Amino acid sequence: MFWCKDNAGSPPLSQFIDATDDIVSARSLSLCSSAEARALVPYEIAVRMHALPLSINGKDQKRTLFVAADYEDAAEKLRELQFATQLQVKLIKVSYGTVLEAIFLAYRGSEQKLASAARELPMQRETGRRIDAPVSIFEGQGSICAFLSTLIEYAVARHASDIHLIPANDGTLLKLRIDGDLHIHESPLGNSQSHAQIIRRLKVLSKLDVSKHDCPQDGAFRLALHHGTFHLRLSILPTLHGEKAVLRILGQNHYPTIASLGFSAPVERALQSMLQEQEGLVLFIGATGSGKTTSMYSMIQESALRGLNVCTVEDPIEIELPCASQSQVNLHQGLDYASCLRAVLRQDPDVILVGELRDGPSAMAAVQAALTGHLVLSTLHAASADECLGRFESMGVSRSLLHGPLKLIVQQQLLAKLCRCATFDLKASQRTPFEVRKPVGCGQCNGTGYAGRVVLATATTVRGVSRDGVLLTDGRDTAVRAESARALLADGAISWQQYIDVVGASGADS
């Protein structure tokens, strides 16, 4: 299976009794919670009391339940827990925010809960029934709703970015993308009938057409969890054995700033400089899922804080920003990127975000907007800064038109970040003047050695386009990229192998 087993026991609790949130994270605290202790306190009560059961120590009449909790109404919590569990209770002080997140991770990130919900799905094999046969929306709805709710909560607790529900001959193949890697469930869940019900339920939640099974559909819905509202984007695609669904978990209404994204100092300075100029075209390039939209949102957030009029044209709107006027592309209503962007230009904008330059009209409209004194932010599918001109040319935009408006190109890549359990890499450290770490694996990172991701970005300042149609820059893109990767290596954020993958074997020794 792709998930970890629940802890059979807990580490010595003495390390937590006098601990502070600086050394005890919600993740590590949740790992110290045993299934035996959680069985005594239901999830709803744990949330209401802000108390996470950790472990049961002792025997017979001397059994003691250790509970992590904030100290608000501590005496009342102590009495209620002792009455409910009939055990002696010892409270361990933890801040409100830490214990609340730890409760969610421990209860909703439990393999046992997800496995239990999966067992409730219909498992009998069908005979003589077509996969695309009509299914009543009420048939098995209780177990379907419970499974989806448990699955999404589990994915959020595991910090997954995507949930894949793939139709198979004998059920639903489940995959989760965590820190960029796809983790696969060991066997299909339910059967083809339950898969059709899952897809139908997702369509209802996303307000899609439940009668259509032979065309792609896109939608979105919100899910309220105890620590915030999450936005989920749904993509439905017909396949050989039925409809495949992919859910992108966009997270809470988190409004990032440039400083919070972990850019290197040169990249941060380049972005801040563009906000000062307030005109020109800024392109973000990189693979899908490399954080380009998040980077643009950070610039939008800071633009709004400076009192600027911000408008966006997106497909879809990923996060609602109270500081911006956001418009959704709707091709069925004839509202494409180009027409929507032309309308936005009549709204007296200072900063315009265009989700993606997909075709000639949208690319030309963005260039014209940048030429007329607006700051335009957008993304482009290109592998490097030098390829950007070729992409514009393929969309019918002359290279010469980019001589003035194109100001900055930011290339992004997300790398898996080493977990705190990483250990000293002797062999790699002998090749550098600083200590290098390598992945090991622990409970906090599910044994992978990596937890979270870190951004590797380079900012190319464009001075113009030559008469030969060549981008005029300082030509240090490769060197700057290698320097940024080396800085991440020195900080212990990435391993030597990741560094080699970025700069190449020959660049590692330079």
Q: Both 60 and 86 in a single domain? A: yes
Q: Both 241 and 267 in a single domain? A: no
Q: Is the pLDDT of residue 111 over 80?
A: no
Helices (H), 278-332: 292-305
Q: Both 273 and 201 in a single domain? A: no
CATH number at residue 181: 3.30.450.90
Is 246 within 8 Å of 233 (Cβ atoms)? no
Q: Does some domain include residue 9? A: no
Q: Both 170 and 277 in a single domain? A: no
CA-closest candidate to residue 369, choices 453, 288, 278 = 278
Helices (H), 111-209: 111-119, 141-157, 192-205
Which pLDDT value is given to residue 135? Answer: 34
Is 417 within 8 Å of 451 (Cβ atoms)? yes
Tens digit of each residue's pLDDT (9 = 90 or more) over 192-245: 888 999 999 999 999 999 999 999 998 888 888 766 778 888 999 999 989 999
C-alpha count within 13 angstroms, C-beta hemisphere, residue 415? 25
Please tell me whether residue 240 adopts helix, strand or coil conformation. Answer: coil
- What CA–CA distance (Å, rounded) separates 208 from 400? 44
Which pLDDT value is given to residue 124? Answer: 45
Which pLDDT value is given to residue 138? Answer: 34
Q: Both 119 and 77 in a single domain? A: no
Tens digit of each residue's pLDDT (9 = 90 or more) over 61-84: 788 999 999 878 888 888 888 888
316 cis-preceded (ω within 30 degrees of 0): yes
Q: Both 210 and 307 in a single domain? A: no
Average pLDDT over residues 467-486: 86
- CA 204 from chain centre, in angstroms, equals 24
**What is the DSSP secondary structure assignment for residue 275, as one 8-state letter?**
H
Q: Both 194 and 336 in a single domain? A: no
User: What's the burial of 207, exposed, middle or buried (CB within 10 Å: 0-12/13-18/19+)?
Assistant: exposed
Q: Does some domain include residue 1? A: no
Is 499 within 8 Å of 489 (Cβ atoms)? yes
Q: Does some domain include residue 475? A: yes
506 or 51, which is more confident:
51
Q: Does some domain include residue 5? A: no
User: What's the burial of 328, exposed, middle or buried (CB within 10 Å: 0-12/13-18/19+)?
Assistant: middle
Q: Both 353 and 302 in a single domain? A: yes
Which pLDDT value is given to residue 252? Answer: 62
User: How many domains, in total, are found in the chain?
Assistant: 3
Which pLDDT value is given to residue 18? Answer: 45
Q: If you search the block for the tokens 């393929």, which residue do you land on?
A: 394
- What CA–CA distance (Å, rounded) separates 108 from 114? 8
Q: Which of 251, 269, 303 is the last residue of a domain?
A: 251
Q: Which of 204, 232, 251 is the last residue of a domain?
A: 251
CATH number at residue 404: 3.40.50.300
- What CA–CA distance (Å, rounded) separates 344 from 349? 7
Which pLDDT value is given to residue 386? Answer: 87
> What are the backbone angles phi and psi of residue 280, rounded to the nearest 5°?
110, 170
Q: What percent of the chain has pLDDT over 90?
A: 42
- What CA–CA distance (Å, rounded) separates 167 from 199? 10
- What CA–CA distance (Å, rounded) separates 158 from 178? 7
CA angle 295, 296, 298 (to 5 degrees): 65
Q: Is the pLDDT of residue 438 over 90?
A: yes
Q: Is the pLDDT of residue 139 over 60?
A: no
Which pLDDT value is given to residue 274? Answer: 94
Tens digit of each residue's pLDDT (9 = 90 or more) over 293-348: 999 999 998 998 888 999 999 988 877 888 899 999 888 888 888 899 889 999 99
Q: Does some domain include residue 129? A: no
Q: Does some domain include residue 415? A: yes
Out of 3-17, 136-150, 192-206, pick the least confident.
3-17
Q: Both 267 and 408 in a single domain? A: yes
Which pLDDT value is given to residue 23? Answer: 56
Q: Which of 251, 272, 295 is the last residue of a domain?
A: 251
Q: Both 262 and 246 in a single domain? A: no
Q: What's the pLDDT band for 165 if we cut at 50, 70, 90? A: very high
**pTM of the full predicted structure?**
0.76
CATH number at residue 40: 3.30.300
Q: What's the pLDDT band for 27 if we cut at 50, 70, 90? A: confident
Please tell me whether residue 73 adopts helix, strand or coil conformation. Answer: coil
Which pLDDT value is given to residue 162? Answer: 93
CA-closest candidate to residue 293, choices 311, 316, 275 = 316
Q: Both 475 and 372 in a single domain? A: yes
Which pLDDT value is given to residue 444? Answer: 80
Which pLDDT value is given to residue 405? Answer: 93
Beta pairing partners, 416: 453
Q: Does some domain include residue 360? A: yes
Q: Both 358 and 213 in a single domain? A: no
- Domain hosting residue 349, numbered range: 258-508
Which pLDDT value is given to residue 409? Answer: 96
Q: Is the pLDDT of residue 266 over 70?
A: yes
Which pLDDT value is given to residue 222? Answer: 84
Q: Does some domain include residue 7? A: no
